[in-house]
Structure 1
Amino acid sequence: MIAFSELKDFATPPTNEGDTYPIFNPHTREQITEIKESINEEMEVAIEKAAVAFETMKRLTSAERSDILEKASSIIADQKETFAKTITLESGKPIRFALGEVDRTVQTLKFAAIEAKKMEGESIRLDAAPGGAGRDAYTIYQPIGVVGAITPFNFPLNLVSHKVGPALAAGNTIIVKPAEKTPLSSMLLAEAFTDAGLPEDAFQVITGDGPRLGKVMIDHPAVAKITFTGSPKVGELIKSQVGLKKITLELGNNSALYIDESVKDRLDEIAEKAAVGAFSYNGQVCISTQRIYVHESIKDEFLNHFKKAAEALTYGDPFDAATDMSGLIDEKSQERVLQWIDEAVEGGATLITGGSKQENGVTPTILTNVDADAKLSCEEVFGPVVIVNGVPDAEEGLKQMNASTYGLNAGVFTYHLPQAFRFAHELEVGQVLINDIPTLRFDHMPYGGLKSSGYGYEGIKYAIKEMVHMKFISMNHAF
């Protein structure tokens, strides 16, 4: 394994001028190292190697695949500090959240190891149909081949594992094109799988320009599936290009939360949870709590608690265990977030706290009375910003929550059971969390969005089903 003190070894010495690119620490904007800018031919060679490796992978028993996944998870657990420090270095994620991501990755791969042994089909009674007697019929699941994965910067280890784990559990091979800004964690992950005994070329990491290298994977006939996590705009483009390949898209969101007056005695606790949901990793989370709708009778009290929780957060060195907030991923993101805040205020919103630049980050920001047409209401801010608007009743809260082009996660706090059921059934999202914030994901749960939030499902068991073929077999024993 690469020791943290030897991160410079990630660099690929240039063979031609311009064939590497710099990686920067988002918090300090200092250069960390240089990474290979792969050319298209290198991606093509990787795909061809993966296709050859598939012949080995598909013949491994489920027990053998499970054992490799279990060993990889153990290696990562043993190297927890190295992985966490790498995440923090390349993404700027505060170290305590990075450590949490490593823990989740260990669990993700353990779940994959379990599911590798549970790819079970079903028996089908053909004699239920006229003429079907005398036959035994069943289904099996078979791997599809080479999976092409394009991953984002914000969870550079665990979101990669959510694609790698299911692909390998099913008996496929996989090529990961990580986010240009955060390739180091996926490279460490690949080393862990090599050390765990994964067949050569079954998991490869190809670094460089996403649109260019991603297009090579999309166009190559040996790639059976594309799995992408990123923006709706890019996801829509990929979906228009994949043809008959399988595809899973995990896209954007502006997660909504409704707080009912029935929980008025728990507002301080809910405010603390909402602060975690809105500001963890600077809001750079697909299911970050961005829109909060509060019954108007408790809005002011909630805002008081929420403001106190936001202002108690600490900005600082992400390697300090006490740090809550750090620099955003790049200067462009910082400028965009601040611009959206200014536009909302100019449109009549009230700034409760935050809204300013803090070194390379943005202070935790709460606004109220935000217009429904403001970008902070309509689009994904991907920054430490949340709106809190009052609503007269649950009916209006439900209406405002559904007034979005996105539909990934939503949360509801209520003690009114019929109301909870109504939100659960009528919210236009993939996951509804009752008495929880929407910024909640367990790694084995189904996870997928409606509308512009995605296509297909992740969550280990469910991702595997997206990476296999179901085959029907009938045995006519009366012949």
Structure 2
Amino acid sequence: MPDEAAYTEVTNPGTGEVLGRLPIMTAAEVDAVVANAAAGQDAMAALPAHARAALLLDVAARLEAERDPLAALLAAENGKPIEQTEGEVDAAIRIFRGTAGEATRLFGTQYPLDAVPGLERNLAVTIREPLGVVAAIVPFNYPVELYAHKAAGALAAGNAVVVQPPARCPLSLLRVHELFAEAGAPEFAHQLVTGGVPVSQQLADHPGIAAVTLTGSTVAGREIGRRGGATFKKVLLELGGNDALIVCSDADLDAATDAVVLGRLARGNGQICCAVKRVYVDASVHDAFVESLTAKAAALTVGDQLQRATEVGPLIAESAAEAVEGAVKQLIDDGARLTAGGVRDGAFYTPAVLTDVPADSPALAEEIFGPVAPVARFTDPAEAVALANASPYGLQAAVFTRDVSRAFSIAKRLDVGGVVINGSTALRAENLPFGGTKDTGGHREGYHHTVRDLTREKTMIVMEAFG
């Protein structure tokens, strides 16, 4: 039997209850998984598109049948309120079904060679082929949903996938993995590796891995990208965000404050890459906005994530709550004023609203991964755009205004991957391209984009095809 050091405990972050144990795989064990994945990839590539689609639809049906117990397990190990984890499992089911359709739409292209003198009678076409073995490194905040994007996309394209679940909340993905065997997936087409950073780095280094897809921090993304580059593997990164919400003088303030509450304080316990993390409000409506936001934040119910009345559960770990507590303290030290929340109890952190936040505070420039809403003033929309663009991140942004021309003008000048007009930045529809600019990584994830990115293009030329 392996010694105790070869395992980590998975606990409920709110209660400390031990939910299971996760083996920490050795380098040799990871090597064996990758070696087996080569056979799994051959089997997946040999499946016709309709069979790959059928496999994903079968898994989706099995997920749907186990939706409630899987959502409860995810809530227990992750800390998100139960109604939100039910929504996450629902999203994963949609992703598997939507991606199944993409398996049958991997179109090639015919190129007119009569554009080149002397090649008029020849035919050129391209086809899409699988890359090989894809490593999918999954984050803790939305593990089932983000896993679904990566794994379903890899398999739809004819690849094998090696999934690394998040160490703190892997149990729901362990169950999903079992569903693939029950659905009759080819042996070794879908495998898991468990452990921490060394396992992620080994996957990025491994010559048997053709592509790595990672959702995580920018620090992690830089390291995975550096390691993956040594073997010229494809590295697909969706990294950090520090999304700005701009509230203009003519905005619907009730809707704007709802966007902050629902898109930051009461969704994912604030642990969302595309959450509203900075709020810039026109000075003429600043005080009214803060008053409304403070009242709504103070009314949120914090507690046991398995109770349906709960709107904000525990963060993923006490250390995560401590980091949020430290960031808020820094903002206050820099001159911000706390108007709501900001109290830590173990892994719980009451949703915090801060006003009079200095725009040059270093803590505002960093991604605070928890239920915190810092609010700063501006006097000119151009100033707000400059403040939003000053971040090293560029995932999403939002603007609230009743002026359509102003909305599009601001949206066009924001250096981000997506802009939501009169809504929260915490919006991700699985059929849309999702990703950002700058330190957010540049990759786009979504039904079509993921599957296409996990293929390669081959050109075939038929000489004298029209002879």
The two structures have a TM-score, normalised by structure 2, of 0.97
What is the aligned partner in structure 2 of residue 257 from structure 1?
A: 245
Given candidates 417, 441, 455, the residue that maps to 2:442 is: 455
Superposition deviation, residue 281 in structure 1: 1.9
Superposition deviation, residue 17 in structure 1: 4.1
Larger CA deviation: 222-231 vs 357-366: 357-366
* 1:377-424 deviation line (CA, Å, top 9, x unaligned): 101110110111121121111111111000001111122222222222
What is the aligned partner in structure 1 of residue 227 from structure 2?
A: 241
Q: Is 2:318 aligned against 1:331? A: yes
What is the aligned partner in structure 1 of residue 458 from structure 2?
A: 471
What is the aligned partner in structure 2 of residue 216 from structure 1?
A: 202
Identical-residue share of aligned pairs (%): 35
Q: Is 2:260 aligned against 1:274? A: yes
Larger CA deviation: 152-161 vs 186-195: 186-195
Superposition deviation, residue 453 in structure 1: 0.8
What is the aligned partner in structure 1 of residue 47 from structure 2?
A: 60
* 1:45-86 deviation line (CA, Å, top 9, x unaligned): 110111011111101111000011111111111111111011
Where structure 1 has 5 or more consecutive residues not aligned to the other structure, the ranges are: 1-13
What is the aligned partner in structure 2 of residue 413 from structure 1?
A: 400
Q: Is 2:218 aligned against 1:232? A: yes
In the TM superposition, what are the counterparts of 1:47-196 in structure 2 within 5 Å?
Answer: 47-196=34-183
Residue type at the aligned position of 2:332: V
Find the aligned partners of 2:168 and 2:214 in 1 and give their Cα distance. Answer: 16
What is the aligned partner in structure 1 of residue 7 from structure 2?
A: 20
SS, match of residue 292 in structure 1: strand
Over the aligned positions, Cα root-mean-square deviation in angstroms equals 1.3
SS, match of residue 133 in structure 1: coil
* 1:17-37 deviation line (CA, Å, top 9, x unaligned): 422221111111222221211
Find the aligned partners of 2:313 and 2:242 in 1 and give their Cα distance. Answer: 21
Contact 2:240/2:367 (<8 A) preserved? yes
Contact 1:28/1:360 (<8 A) preserved? no
SS, match of residue 124 in structure 2: strand
SS, match of residue 58 in structure 1: helix
Contact 2:40/2:190 (<8 A) preserved? no
In the TM superposition, what are the counterparts of 1:436-451 in structure 2 within 5 Å?
Answer: 436-451=423-438
Contact 2:45/2:158 (<8 A) preserved? yes
What is the aligned partner in structure 2 of residue 381 from structure 1?
A: 368
Contact 1:47/1:175 (<8 A) preserved? yes
What is the aligned partner in structure 2 of residue 41 from structure 1?
A: 28
Larger CA deviation: 378-387 vs 124-133: 124-133
SS, match of residue 157 in structure 1: helix
What is the aligned partner in structure 2 of residue 422 from structure 1?
A: 409
Q: Is 2:51 aligned against 1:29? A: no
Contact 2:241/2:440 (<8 A) preserved? yes
Contact 1:143/1:467 (<8 A) preserved? yes
Find the aligned partners of 1:20 and 1:278 in 2 and give their Cα distance. Answer: 34
What is the aligned partner in structure 2 of residue 5 from structure 1?
A: none
Contact 2:339/2:355 (<8 A) preserved? yes
Superposition deviation, residue 167 in structure 1: 0.1
SS, match of residue 227 in structure 1: strand
Where structure 2 has 5 or more consecutive residues not aligned to the other structure, the ranges are: none
